[in-house]
Amino acid sequence: MSVKRSLRDRLPRVRWWACTVLLMVLVLLGGLMETFYSPTGQSTDEGGGFTSTGAAWMSVGSLAAALALAVLVIWRRDRPLLVTLAGAAAGALLQVGPVAAMIGLASLIARRRGGQVVVGAVAAAAAVLVSTITDAYFSARSESIIQQFVVSEAGPAERAEVPVAVAVIIVLLSLGVPTAIGILQRVRGSEAAARQSRDVLDVELARSREREEIAREIHDVLGSRLSLLSIKAGAIEVREEEYPKIAGEIADIRWIASQSLDDLRSLLGVVKGESRPVSLTELRRIVEESVVEGQPVGLSIYLNEAEQAPDRLARAVVRVVQEAITNARKHAPGQFLTLSVSGGPGEGIEILAVNPLPERAADAPGTGRGLEGMRERTRMVGGELQAGAVGETFRIAARLPWPVQS
Domains and CATH numbers, the chain: 2-162 (no CATH), 278-406 (3.30.565.10)
Helices (H), 157-310: 164-218, 224-237, 247-272, 283-290
Strands 348-356 and 337-344: antiparallel
Output the tens digit of pLDDT for each of the chain's 406 residues: 455 555 556 777 888 888 888 888 888 888 787 777 766 555 555 555 555 565 566 677 778 888 888 899 899 888 999 999 998 988 888 778 888 899 999 999 988 888 889 999 999 999 889 888 888 887 777 777 777 776 665 555 566 778 888 888 988 998 999 999 989 988 888 887 888 888 888 887 877 777 676 666 666 556 656 666 666 666 666 666 666 666 666 666 766 666 666 666 666 665 555 556 778 888 888 888 777 666 788 999 999 988 888 888 988 898 888 888 888 888 888 889 999 999 999 899 999 999 998 876 655 455 566 788 788 888 888 999 999 888 889 999 999 999 887 5
The backbone region for 224, taken as left when phi is positive above 0, alpha when psi lies in -120 to 50, beta otherwise, is alpha
The dihedral formed by the CA atoms of 19, 23, 28 and 33, expressed in degrees to the nearest 10: 130
Question: Whole-model pTM?
Answer: 0.51
CA terminus-to-terminus distance, the chain: 51
Q: How many helices (H) and strands (E) does the chain have?
A: 12, 5
> Tell me, what DSSP letter sits at residue 76?
T
